[in-house]
Amino acid sequence: MKNPCDDPESRLAAIVASSDDAIVSKDLDGVITSWNRAAEEMFGFPAAEAIGSHISIIVPEDRLDEEAFVLAQVRSGAGIRHFETRRRRKDGSFIDIDLTVSPIRSADGVVIGASKIARNITEQKRLRQIADETSRMKDEFLAVFSHELRTPLNNVLGNAQLLRKEICADHRERALDSLERNAQALARLVNDVLESSRIITGKLQLSFELFDADRIVLEAIDTLQPTFDAKGASVVSTIESGLHVRGDRDRLLQVIWNVLSNAAKFTPRGGTVAVRAASRGGNIVIAIEDNGIGIDPKLLQCVFQRFWQADGSFTREHGGLGIGLALARHVVELHGGHIQAASAGLGHGTTITIVLPCAETAASVPLVSA
């Protein structure tokens, strides 16, 4: 008995039926004449429903002109290869496809219809968009990082050259102060980048110890006091003593420094930053409130994303890498706490609140490190 698969037409039909790509044929009026299993799965219409219907059942309304163009190409005998477009499923959802359309000819060479092969590229397109966005963010980050490095580096070089000259003691002291301040700024930039890299790769290590949170808040204020003084801004603090925390002291100090540094950056000349730290309900609550530019409430969820700034863009109008608050969120969460931002809107300042379990509570929580 002859094997049906030895028949070329039967073999072709088996290939079409088993293909992972949707294979559809239609006549020159756009009426569907065949519809394989993959088309059923891709578009949601069973073959019995699709065959005899117009191809527009899967074409979004805003792309109907596109289908007219495809049919015109087929009638001319040209066809279309690897055309990326979008189609509509039976449930109303959309799918991105790669479409190839070829004319179907009769035995005497007359075009009588079209064969369409559609491949689902929704996931590939999503991954491509992610890759493009990642590449754009990388280029943006490198440009910003270079800009942020340039200012303190130029200052360091300028003051180093100045110190080689014969200058008075007062000038020498100012030059040394400036060298130290800008060297610290460079160290913080590099440290933030390294910490961000460790978080991404899962290599951030925490070293837990018992210490007073009120002390690191005061230390952060002291470190940034010259910055506030230079802007003519003031810091008003209300800090409860004896706020015992179990955690990584250096990294929590970095968290508070980053938040306070942001407050200094976005507070106008003559503005005020209020720092409060107190024990509340088994937690230590540290709130840093500025009267600066504020944030659109719709954008509050963005403030802890890497490379984002409070002006809601990547333009870096106020300088900085835009990773300080992202690092803060990660470190605080590793300590079993949380951090949140609040603002009444543009021009109404911002409050960043850090909540950490006090030492008694933290002792009963498994220590987390990454």
Do 61 and 81 reside in the same domain of the chain? yes
> Which is it for strands 283-290 and 338-342: parallel, antiparallel or unpaired?
unpaired
- With a cut of 60, say whether residue 366 has pLDDT above it: no
Cβ atoms of 145 and 185 within 8 Å: the answer is no
Do 30 and 55 reside in the same domain of the chain? yes
**Strands of 32-35's sheet in order across:** 32-35, 22-27, 111-120, 94-105, 80-88
Do 289 and 351 reside in the same domain of the chain? yes
Do 116 and 21 reside in the same domain of the chain? yes
pLDDT, average across residues 63-86: 90
Do 333 and 369 reside in the same domain of the chain? yes
| Between 155 and 232, residue with greater pLDDT | 232
- With a cut of 80, say whether residue 166 has pLDDT above it: no
Do 183 and 246 reside in the same domain of the chain? no
Query: Which of 151-155, 182-186, 302-306, 316-320 is least confident?
Result: 316-320
Which of the listed residues 56, 86, 120 is the one where a domain comes to its end?
A: 120
Please report, for the domain that includes residue 168, its CATH number: 1.10.287.130
Question: What is the count of structural domains for the chain?
Answer: 3
Per-residue confidence (pLDDT) for residue 116, from 0 to 100: 93
Do 152 and 95 reside in the same domain of the chain? no
CA 46: distance to chain centroid? Answer: 39
Cβ atoms of 256 and 354 within 8 Å: the answer is yes
Residue 270's pLDDT band (boundaries 50, 70, 90)?
Answer: confident
> Which is it for strands 209-212 and 244-247: parallel, antiparallel or unpaired?
antiparallel
Do 101 and 159 reside in the same domain of the chain? no
328, two tokens: 């803060």
> Which is it for strands 272-280 and 234-239: parallel, antiparallel or unpaired?
parallel
Mean pLDDT for all residues in the chain: 83
Instruction: Give percent of the chain above pLDDT 90.
Output: 39
Task: Report d(CA 273, CA 102) in Å as an integer.
Answer: 68
Please report, for the domain that includes residue 76, its CATH number: 3.30.450.20
pLDDT, average across residues 285-290: 94
- With a cut of 90, say whether residue 268 has pLDDT above it: no
Do 277 and 228 reside in the same domain of the chain? yes
Query: Which of 94-98, 146-150, 331-335 is least confident?
Result: 146-150
Residue 163's pLDDT band (boundaries 50, 70, 90)?
Answer: confident
| Between 4 and 283, residue with greater pLDDT | 283
| Between 368 and 248, residue with greater pLDDT | 248
177, two tokens: 């102060």
Per-residue confidence (pLDDT) for residue 369, from 0 to 100: 42
User: pLDDT tens for residues 187-221?
Assistant: 777 777 777 777 666 777 788 899 999 999 999 99
Which of the listed residues 177, 203, 229 is the one where a domain comes to its end?
A: 203
| Between 275 and 154, residue with greater pLDDT | 275
Task: Report d(CA 111, CA 142) in Å as an integer.
Answer: 55
| Between 257 and 321, residue with greater pLDDT | 257
| Domain around 101 | 4-120
User: pLDDT tens for residues 17-54?
Assistant: 768 899 999 999 999 999 999 999 999 999 999 999 99
Do 237 and 185 reside in the same domain of the chain? no
Per-residue confidence (pLDDT) for residue 313, from 0 to 100: 43
Instruction: Give percent of the chain above pLDDT 70.
Output: 85
Per-residue confidence (pLDDT) for residue 284, from 0 to 100: 94
Task: Quickly count: other Cβ atoms within 10 Å of residue 50's Cβ.
Answer: 22
pLDDT, average across residues 128-149: 76
Cβ atoms of 280 and 333 within 8 Å: the answer is no
